[in-house]
């Protein structure tokens, strides 16, 4: 029973990670047998994981097939509104509750990211870790849980806004402002800096989407 539960959990995590890193993109069809072979997991936990992902609206029905869901303009806007408020709150709380060690880790992340602004893929990975550290530094488990749900839905975005030309350098500077506010225990400044950061990321994504539509 324990092994079966472990497989079930692993299958869900494996598929979710594959969507998150872009192995499976919005519109891609997920086939139970292919997933079982890819991940070395039996078909039963794969089936249960797919059902769970469908319930969470990360997968959608296309006839009899399951495909990775996509976000329309309204869904994207709604997601960014929620993300902005929750992450702003996390930054505000982090300014009050982050430990000395957490502040140092955040500062180190910013300085390390200055060296990888041209590496979009690496920056996208470290960007997720940076935001997760702020969530944890809020020291509010319920907020962290809600942000985990938001980031699960963000896995449906096929590209990172950091891929836009010049966005990496600007994003690192925005991260610097957030960390400075947290280091100074200035909750309002941290809140506003993080909300501004999310707003700029959203504007970049909208411009990129509009450009793709034009082509």
Domains (ranges, CATH) in the chain? 2-68 (1.10.10.10), 73-214 (1.20.120.530)
Q: Among the listed ranges 23-32, 112-121, 183-192, which one has the minimum average pLDDT value?
A: 112-121
pLDDT at position 1: 40
Tell whether the model's pLDDT for residue 8 goes beyond 80: no
Of 106 and 62, more confident: 106
Sheet holding 65-68, edge to edge: 29-30, 65-68, 59-62
**Sign for the pseudo-dihedral over CA of 47, 49, 50, 51:** positive
pLDDT at position 2: 42
Of 56 and 6, more confident: 56
Q: Model confidence over 45-99: pLDDT tens digits?
A: 999 999 999 998 899 998 888 999 988 889 999 999 999 999 999 999 999 999 9
- List C-alpha distances in Å: 119 to 41, 154, 164, 169, 192: 33, 21, 12, 11, 27
Q: How far apart are CA 74 and CA 17, in angstroms?
A: 25
Helix (H), strand (E), coil (C) string for 94-115: HHHHCCHHHHHHHHHHHHHHHH
Of 76 and 2, more confident: 76
pLDDT at position 107: 98
Q: Model confidence over 193-214: pLDDT tens digits?
A: 999 999 999 998 888 777 766 6
Of 14 and 215, more confident: 14
In a 10 Å sphere around its CB, with 0-12 CB exposed, 13-18 middle and 19+ buried, how is residue 165 labelled? exposed
Q: Model confidence over 141-187: pLDDT tens digits?
A: 999 999 999 998 888 886 667 667 678 899 999 999 999 999 999 99
pLDDT at position 122: 86
């Amino acid at each position: 029973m324990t092994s079966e539960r472990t497989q079930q959990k692993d299958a869900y995590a494996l598929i979710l990670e594959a969507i998150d890193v872009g192995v499976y993109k919005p519109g891609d069809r997920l086939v139970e047998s292919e997933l079982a072979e890819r991940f070395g997991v039996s078909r039963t936990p794969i089936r249960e994981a797919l059902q769970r992902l469908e319930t969470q609206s990360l997968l959608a029905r296309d006839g009899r097939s399951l495909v990775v869901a996509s976000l329309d303009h309204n869904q994207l806007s709604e997601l960014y509104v929620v993300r902005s408020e929750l992450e702003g709150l996390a930054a505000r709380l982090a300014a009050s509750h982050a430990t000395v060690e957490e502040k140092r880790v955040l500062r180190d992340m910013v300085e390390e990211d200055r060296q990888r602004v041209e590496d979009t893929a690496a920056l996208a990975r470290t960007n997720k870790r940076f935001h997760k550290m702020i969530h944890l530094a809020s020291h509010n488990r319920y907020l962290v849980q809600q942000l985990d749900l938001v980031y699960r839905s963000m896995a449906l975005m096929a590209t990172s806004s950091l891929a836009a030309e010049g966005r990496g350098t600007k994003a690192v500077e925005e991260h610097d402002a957030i960390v400075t506010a947290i280091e100074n225990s200035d909750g309002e400044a941290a809140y506003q800096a993080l909300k501004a950061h999310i707003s700029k990321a959203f504007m970049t994504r909208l411009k990129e989407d509009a450009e793709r539509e034009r082509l």
